[in-house]
Amino acid sequence: MSLEGHFYTAANKLLDQDKLVENFISGADKRVKNLEVSQKKFVRCPFSLNQELITLNIKKMEE
């Protein structure tokens, strides 16, 4: 094998390794995103907008 052929083969191996790494990272990314979505919880937090406005008005009146 010529020196040029050796470098070409080595470069191809690096490209293949890069592809494997990219695929691994991409797959891990997708699994984490799926896990995050499946573990989300939605909590209902009741509040009174009227009470918030009254509080703001009182603060403005005190200024």
Contact status, residue 1 vs residue 9, Cβ threshold 8 Å: yes
Q: Which residue ranges make up each domain of the chain?
A: 1-38
What pLDDT is attached to residue 4? 58
DSSP string, 8-20: HHHHHHHHHHHHH
Quick count: other Cβ atoms within 10 Å of Cβ 16?
Answer: 10
What pLDDT is attached to residue 20? 86
What are the pLDDT tens digits along the chain (63 aa)? 455 555 567 677 778 888 888 888 888 888 777 776 666 777 777 777 788 788 888 888 887
Please report which helix (H) or strand (E) contains residue 41, including its range: none
**Nearest residue to 53 via CA among 43, 41, 61:** 61
Cα distances (Å, whole numbers) of residue 1 to 4, 7, 8, 9:
8, 10, 11, 10
